Amino acid sequence: MKLKKSDEDRANDISAELSQILKGVDFLPDGVYKLLTEISPITCVDMIPCRWHEGKWQVGLITRNTGFFKDKLWIIGGRVNIGESIQAALDRNMKSDLMIGMNLFPGLAWNKPFLTLQYYHNPENYREPYHLPNFGHEHSKHCIALTYLVLIGDDKEVHFGSTEHGGQEANDFNWFDIDGIPPKEMIAYGGRETTLIPASQFLNEKYPNGA
């Protein structure tokens, strides 16, 4: 559908005014965010913390403290900001959530994620989860998630950081043996089968004796 010239001019005027109002704003108002997520996907980076501990691999999961999946277990992640590199987004989100540094798993790089996943919003109600086979679900956006395995030192001490909008995204963090991943009911985004099991299989098969 093509807009009439008068409607196109009005939309351009609104866009210019909105750009001025939102200049310097990091977290968009709900109405603006809803509009943007209805017409364009959001690029995110996700990280699966891994460590070799007492002769076995473990993955680290936060307990979410915000959003639709509050109190569910999930990995570390967040959006890539405008003007930010993927590597910088990886570093920022790890430090924001756990206040620790990390290294990408051997063989991975910013342009070589372990998995690329998709999460969708319900087109009829952007606050409602929308299930699609094999992709999990997400309550507020269509997200393209570049997903990485990251190495965390066995002696690293975790301190919970804060999200960019001032809330605390994680209220707990625990390590789980890869042969003992919690059941799907405890995992956010329907991500046990799409994310955590493939990571566990990769670690067992490719690095059975540590990295």
Joined tokens for residue 124: 């009829």
The CA distance from 16 to 40, in Å, is 19
Could you list the pLDDT tens digit for every one of the 211 residues in the chain?
A: 677 878 888 988 888 998 889 887 766 787 887 777 777 888 999 999 999 999 999 999 999 887 778 899 999 988 898 889 999 999 988 888 888 888 898 888 999 999 998 887 666 665 666 666 655 666 556 888 999 999 987 777 777 665 554 456 778 889 999 999 999 999 988 889 999 999 999 999 999 888 7
End-to-end CA distance of the chain: 54
Contact 48, 38 (CB under 8 A): no
Q: What is the pTM of this model?
A: 0.82
- State the SS3 of 80-117: CCCCCCHHHHHHHHHHHHHCCCCEECCCCECCECCEEE
Burial of 106 (0-12, 13-18, 19+ CB in 10 A): exposed
